[in-house]
Amino acid sequence: MKAWLLRFKKLHIWLAAAAVFLGAYFLLRRSRPLMDALADYVTTPYKRTMAALCSVTEISVAEVLYVSLAAVAIFYVANVVRKLICEKHRGETLYRFVLTVVCVVVTIYAGFCLLWGINYHTDSFQDRSGIVARKGTPEELKELTADFARVLSDIADTVPRDENGVFTADRREILRAAAGVYEEAYDTIPCLQARDVEPKAFVCSRAMTAMDFTGFYFPFTGEANINIDSPEVFTPTTAIHEMAHQRQIASEQECNFVAIAVSAMSSDPLYRYSGWLMGYVHLSNALYKVDREAWQQIHSSLPETVLADMQYNNAYWTRNHTSFTDATQKVYDSFIKSNGDHNGVQSYGMVVDMLLAYYG
């Protein structure tokens, strides 16, 4: 064992350095002023610079990195298996393999903590915007849900639809319009001002669907990546959600609120409809739990086109749900909790309280 420690000295130093970094991160993240300064002057400028550099191509650099990493991993594992079969010193080979994998995983996790995890410990969107979530009464929830339903009914015919009455649009055109949508919200929510880059269409979107993701933000390149296989109706709000992450907003429920509010006030009919529909879905799901009769009354008032959009979206995700989806969500939930958000993925439901505060 002593000989192995010396032989793999560089790997052990690498692992120790990553462990020290993570220890310092978990200790220092308790200081909000320090995290604010680190985000404002180091990590956010880095991510915005990387996003600008990556914007020279429509291809997602994040996707290229993921595919490259997968290819390298397959080649590396195959080579290790060959050595275990054909060469001597199998114990040494296996030890090097396990140590290398641990070093890589810990280093990537440390990078995510530095570039993204710190945003869970900085001033939140609620702190910066003054839009603070509040609990509401069932009656307030009912009234706001009805308001969203009325707007949806009024604008349902302003968006293009296919022969089945389902929302349809060119996803790439939607993504190209995203930056302009944010500009319309600056007067109302000034803390959202930032230099935007176009969200990226993720080619391997079926893989994202399998993980139950409509999009994701990749802090190493600063890119907002969008699932272009899932139903188009929520592509606009997904783009705004992921671009909210580019504005240092870590909380998923805050990004969902931003996606709804910014899209709903847009002059672009595609974004406006997507925003009001997303808001209605959140509100109606909450109302269903507290007043099923009121939910049924409001739900029945919606046009067939709106109902078709929701049914099509639900059918898509139900059809593509697998055990792998559950496993992926558990991993993501664990990552969120490890960064101090103890609600995990369940925190998505908190968006209702922000809608009550903003629209109520």
Q: How many domains does the chain have?
A: 2
pLDDT at 103 over 90: yes
**Confidence (pTM):** 0.91
Average model confidence (pLDDT) for the chain? 91
> 131 and 114 in one domain?
no
Final residue of a structural domain among 121, 141, 174: 121
Q: CA–CA distance from 326 to each of 207, 281, 291, 330 (Å)?
A: 14, 22, 29, 6
pLDDT at 57 over 60: yes
> 81 and 153 in one domain?
no
> 107 and 195 in one domain?
no
Query: Distance between CA 152 and CA 137 in Å, rounded?
Result: 23
pLDDT at 354 over 70: yes
> 141 and 194 in one domain?
yes
pLDDT at 347: 40
DSSP state of 184: T
pLDDT single digits (tens) 210-269: 988 999 999 999 999 999 999 999 999 999 999 999 999 999 999 999 999 999 999 999
> 176 and 39 in one domain?
no
The residue with greater pLDDT, 360 or 359, is: 359
Give 355-358 contacts, CB < 8 A, sequence gap 24+. 355/144, 355/257, 355/260, 355/279, 355/282, 355/283, 356/133, 356/134, 356/135, 356/136, 356/140, 356/141, 356/144, 357/131, 357/132, 357/133, 357/134, 358/131, 358/257, 358/261
Element (H, E) at 215: strand 215-218
Residue 1: pLDDT band with limits 50, 70, 90? low
User: Which residue range forms the structural domain that includes residue 48?
Assistant: 2-121
| Closest to 308 (Cα-Cα) out of 239, 237, 231, 238 | 231
pLDDT single digits (tens) 16-43: 999 999 999 999 999 999 999 999 999 9
> 220 and 152 in one domain?
yes
pLDDT at 106 over 70: yes
Final residue of a structural domain among 73, 89, 121: 121
Residue 90: pLDDT band with limits 50, 70, 90? confident
pLDDT at 309: 98
pLDDT at 99 over 70: yes
> 86 and 147 in one domain?
no
Final residue of a structural domain among 98, 121, 144: 121
| Closest to 84 (Cα-Cα) out of 94, 74, 76, 71 | 94
Residue 87: pLDDT band with limits 50, 70, 90? confident
